Structure 1
Amino acid sequence: MQVIGFCRFSYPAEGGFQVAHSSLQERMAYLYAPDRMEERFRHFECLCLPGLRAQTDPDFLFAILVGDAMPTRWLERLAALVEGFPQAVIVSRPPGPHRQVCQDVINSLREPGQPCLQFRHDDDDAVAVDFVQDLRQAARDVAPLLDRHRLVGFDWNRGYIGRPDAKGICAELQVTPYWGVAQAIAARPGARQTIMNFAHNKLNQFMPTVTFTDKAMYLRGHNDHNDSRQKKHIKPVALPRLDAEAEAELKARFAIDADHVRQVFA
């Protein structure tokens, strides 16, 4: 079954942000600000890409949506980071309605007449190296459910919240259902709605879902430019610093190299 991952990399959508902007120009100025972009690239390089590159099942596509007005310096840097990652496809689109544009991009990559597994992924998050393998196995395990329903959701709810910095990684294991990372859907042939048509925390309101809690499947990046952390009265999250043993566990599970993190964030 085809597997498509989808990532928005500073795409200036109409809607889709918890932070409001008065105009498209203001949104692009916010998205492409040098300080913000530097942070996005560091997280993308150190957290997001390693686990995807190391997937035990490499048979998937990873679509990266960017705006057609992304400055050349950032676009070239993004292309350089995914060089040698054959699953990655950078897709450029003009600003448009968030859900519609995301839906169109995902559907443009689908194999006609075939079912499809789709997962959403932010540029500062990580999935475990066996995520695609487990997603495909989960779809096989619930094949009768997929036969009966146009869309079926999958959610791995055990994972880490983590913050990288110049000293390494601060992280803590936790369980949060429908958090939007290590989350996927199975879409039947002809189904036009995609995983990006639904709020991640409301997925189970629109389709049957299957949840898994047996092992850590994600690391959700925590940083100053998280969209969900831009509102007032957001409390900081205190995270313990990982020791060498815990760093090794994180590397085995997510291919995240703490030494590389220290180098990039120094």
Structure 2
Amino acid sequence: MQVIGLCRFSFPALGDFQIEHDTVKERRRHLYHPTRLEERFRLFESLTLPSFRAQTDEDFQLLIAVGECLPKAALDRLKDLTTDIKQVQIIQRAVDPDQKHRQVMKQILQIARSHPDRPCLQFRHDDDDSVSIDFVEKLREAADDGAGLIKKNQAIGIDFNNGYQASFRPAGTHAAQVYKSLLGVGLGMLVSGECTHTIISFTHNRIGRFMPIISYPDRPMWIRSLNNSNDSPRAGKQKAQLAPITPKIETEFVRRFAIDPGFLRLPQSSA
């Protein structure tokens, strides 16, 4: 079964974000600010990419969507960081002020389906988060679990609701294990053949209104980064609930998420 992941890297279309802008020009100015881009690249390189390099099931695609207006230096850097990951495909799209963000992402996913008449697994991923190295493997197992449900539904959600929230501060890494349902990270969808819905068709925390959800709380499956450029206005409050990383959690980050221990131990940039 085809497995497709979608990661939006500072894509400047309007809509579908909690922090909104009135024009594409304003959104570009916000997303492409050098300080913000540097933080996103640091987290993308240190959190996101290691686990995708180390997936126990290598049969997946990771589509990284960027605007054609992404500064050349940033695009070149993105290509350099991902050149060794065969599953990555960087997709550039022009930004149409009249076309909402969700429409563009749905088109990208629909085009990527090699056999639209067959079931497909999809997941969404933010460029500052991480999933466990067995994420794709567990997605496939969940699809087997949902074989009966998908016969009666166009799609079913797959929610790994056990993970970590973490902040990589100048004073060091802070983290906490949490149980949170229907986040943008650790959330997948099994789509039936001929169905045109995609993982991006629905607001992630409302997906349960439109389809059955299978939840898996048994093991930590993701790390959600809390940083200076989070879209959620609640990120600041959530940072306050974190504690300095313990040896146990550090071991988990290295073992299950393939994160370099040096990144966790060294003081982080204040960008």
Contact 2:14 2:23 in 1 (8 A): no
Matches within 5 A, 1:235-250: 235=237, 237-238=239-240, 239-250=242-253
Q: Which amino acid aligns with 1:68?
A: E
How far 1:189 sits from its partner (Å)?
Answer: 1.4
Residues 159 and 43 of structure 1: CA distance in aligned 2, closer, same or farther (over 3 Å): same
Q: Deviations over 1:233-259 (max 9, x none)?
A: x53522111134431221101111230
- The more displaced of 14-23 and 183-192 is 14-23
Structure 2 counterpart of 1:100, from 86, 99, 103: 103
Q: Which amino acid aligns with 1:237?
A: K
Contact 1:161 1:219 in 2 (8 A): yes
Q: Which amino acid aligns with 1:51?
A: S
- Work out the CA distance in 2 between the residues paired with 1:140 and 1:230: 35
- Work out the CA distance in 1 between the residues paired with 2:251 and 2:264: 13
Contact 1:6 1:63 in 2 (8 A): yes
Look up the match of 1:118: 122
Residues 230 and 205 of structure 1: CA distance in aligned 2, closer, same or farther (over 3 Å): closer
- Work out the CA distance in 1 between the residues paired with 2:34 and 2:213: 39
Contact 1:19 1:227 in 2 (8 A): yes
The CA RMSD over aligned residues, in Å, is: 1.7
Q: Secondary structure at the match of 1:197?
A: coil
Contact 1:114 1:189 in 2 (8 A): yes
- Work out the CA distance in 2 between the residues paired with 1:262 and 1:151: 42
- Work out the CA distance in 2 between the residues paired with 1:218 and 1:158: 7
How far 1:53 sits from its partner (Å)?
Answer: 1.1
- The two structures have a TM-score, normalised by structure 2, of 0.93
Structure 2 counterpart of 1:129, from 130, 133, 136: 133
What is the aligned-residue identity percentage? 42
Contact 1:46 1:261 in 2 (8 A): no
Look up the match of 1:56: 56
- The more displaced of 195-204 and 237-246 is 237-246
Contact 2:14 2:21 in 1 (8 A): no
- Work out the CA distance in 1 between the residues paired with 2:19 and 2:163: 26
Structure 1 counterpart of 2:195, from 172, 191, 195: 191
- The more displaced of 245-254 and 28-37 is 245-254
- Work out the CA distance in 2 between the residues paired with 1:262 and 1:204: 38
Contact 2:171 2:267 in 1 (8 A): no
Q: Deviations over 1:188-245 (max 9, x none)?
A: 11111101010110011001111110110111010010011389xx535221111344
- The two structures have a TM-score, normalised by structure 1, of 0.94
Contact 2:250 2:264 in 1 (8 A): no
Q: Secondary structure at the match of 2:175?
A: strand
Look up the match of 2:144: 140
Structure 2 counterpart of 1:159, from 150, 157, 163: 163
- Work out the CA distance in 2 between the residues paired with 1:56 and 1:245: 22
Contact 1:156 1:212 in 2 (8 A): yes
How far 1:13 sits from its partner (Å)?
Answer: 1.3
- The more displaced of 20-29 and 199-208 is 20-29
Q: Which amino acid aligns with 2:112?
A: L
